[in-house]
Amino acid sequence: MNRLWVRLSAAFLLVAWVGIGAVALIVRQATEAGFRQYLDQREAAGGNPDQVARLQAYYAAQGGWQGAEAVLYARSGEGGAHSSSRRGAQLLIAGTNGVVQAATDPAAVGEMLTSDELAEAAPLVVDGRTVGWLVRRTPGEAALGAAETAFLAEANRWLLAAAGGATALSLLVGAALAWAIARPLRMLTAAAQRLTAGRLGEQVTVRGTLEINDLADAFNAMSRDLAAGEALRQRMAADVAHELRTPVSVLRGHLEAMMDGVYPLDSDHLAVAYDQTIHLARLVEDLRLLTQAEMRRLPLERDAVIPAELVAQAVEAFSPLALDAGIRLEQQVQADLPALWADATRIRQVLDNLLTNALRHTPAGGAIVITAVRRDGCVRFSVSNTGSLADEDAQRAFEPFWRAEAARERDRGGSGLGLAISRQFVLLHGGRIWAERRDQETVFAFELPL
């Protein structure tokens, strides 16, 4: 099953079984090596280095192994065959075919040596050829082999019991851990399904590991952004409909009045209709620019741009409007500012939009100041005007169709897209733009990298 709890449980089982298998292998190898070493030490302690030579001399003299028991009895230190068969090591001489020819225990004569005994036997060599084998058969070796087998069997039983306990514990711990990890994931999955069903803004509260918490925070942020985006889309659609409906209604009313003879078909009434078409064209163009800029498809014609020249051109263009409104327009430009690699037309449009917004919100007798200074590898432009701006208004100033005091501002003209377009133009240049409130002053500023 492709489930998290199954995989975690299987992983715990695998680790437990591998550990137990490794321990079992080490115990078996260590036990066998320990028993073999003990037997080798016993063999070395009880061995006689002269025995092989004496037996080889006996064979050379007699030509066979008949009567070799006397040599074996003499070298084994036992009193006779009877006592030798009861205790101590048994010595056997086997022919080249592996059959016992002589032994301290007469009952062993005629037996076939095992391959293990032949492997440990000492060869008896006369005139360069092997004539037999000397085997030392220790009664304690059989006992030790049985003890080794019993010990390993007991160890295996305990290892099997440990394997059973480890399996049960692994299943228990794996299932608990998998449930603890999978529970917040299931909650996130359910929330994601509700989100796809249209419940935007869905928030989840989960407690888990740092990674799970980060995932939940990312999901909550995404859900909030989707809800905010959907609300913005709906509001923008309503604003677009409202913006289009007003000039279309005015244009339709004037045309119907002129067709019905209510208004004369003269230049004054045609001018009203023409102004509405201009307003519609400007609104459509602003929407096109905003859409292209947001999709990063608006081409930029970059060139070397002098910041002081941009500010001077903006001040020259807006000075008559400021004079008519009784507003003082000033500029403060830092000397020797470096040139920018930018689209002069788009940046000039940003300044125009900021100045238009400042003129609309500055009371008569107030002041507007345009500044340009160098800050941390950037050139910062700012447009400050007399009058305060609420914090909420500063945060939402660059949203499409958003206006402070919306009803009043809509009647005073403007599409409500200028600041949104300005923001996208600045982002296309790799800069940033923001609004902030100061003491009795509102500042819109943007930075462009050098």
CA–CA separation, 347 and 303 (whole Å): 12
Q: What is the pLDDT at residue 347?
A: 93
Q: What is the pLDDT at residue 371?
A: 95
Q: What is the pLDDT at residue 384?
A: 93
Q: Mean of the pLDDT values across residues 34-43?
A: 60
Q: What is the pLDDT at residue 36?
A: 64
Q: Which helix (H) or strand (E) holds 373?
A: strand 367-375
Please determine whether the domains at 210-294 and 303-449 fall in the same fold group of CATH.
no
For residue 385 the two structure tokens come to 């005007």
CA–CA separation, 135 and 315 (whole Å): 117
**359 vs 174: which has the higher pLDDT:** 359
Cross-strand partners of 304: 341
What architecture (CATH level 2) is domain 303-449? 2-Layer Sandwich (3.30)
Please report, for the chain, the start and end positions of each structural domain, with discontinuous segments joined by +. Answer: 1-199, 210-294, 303-449
Q: Mean of the pLDDT values across residues 388-411?
A: 65
Q: Mean of the pLDDT values across residues 419-446?
A: 89
pTM attached to this predicted model: 0.49
Q: Which helix (H) or strand (E) holds 448?
A: strand 441-449
280 phi/psi in degrees, rounded to 5: -65, -45
Q: What is the pLDDT at residue 216?
A: 86
Question: Above 60 in pLDDT, residue 175?
Answer: yes
- Confidence band of 403 (pLDDT split at 50, 70, 90): low
128 phi/psi in degrees, rounded to 5: 80, 5
Q: What is the pLDDT of residues 243-287, one digit of tens each?
A: 777 778 888 888 888 888 888 888 888 888 888 888 788 878 878
Q: Which CATH class is domain 210-294?
A: mainly alpha
Q: What is the pLDDT at residue 16?
A: 75
Question: Above 60 in pLDDT, residue 399?
Answer: yes
Could you give the 3-state DSSP secondary structure of residue 237?
helix
Q: What is the pLDDT at residue 327?
A: 93
Q: What percent of the chain has pLDDT over 70?
A: 84
Q: What is the pLDDT of residues 181-221, one digit of tens each?
A: 778 888 888 888 888 888 888 888 877 778 788 888 888 88
Q: What is the mean pLDDT of the chain?
A: 80
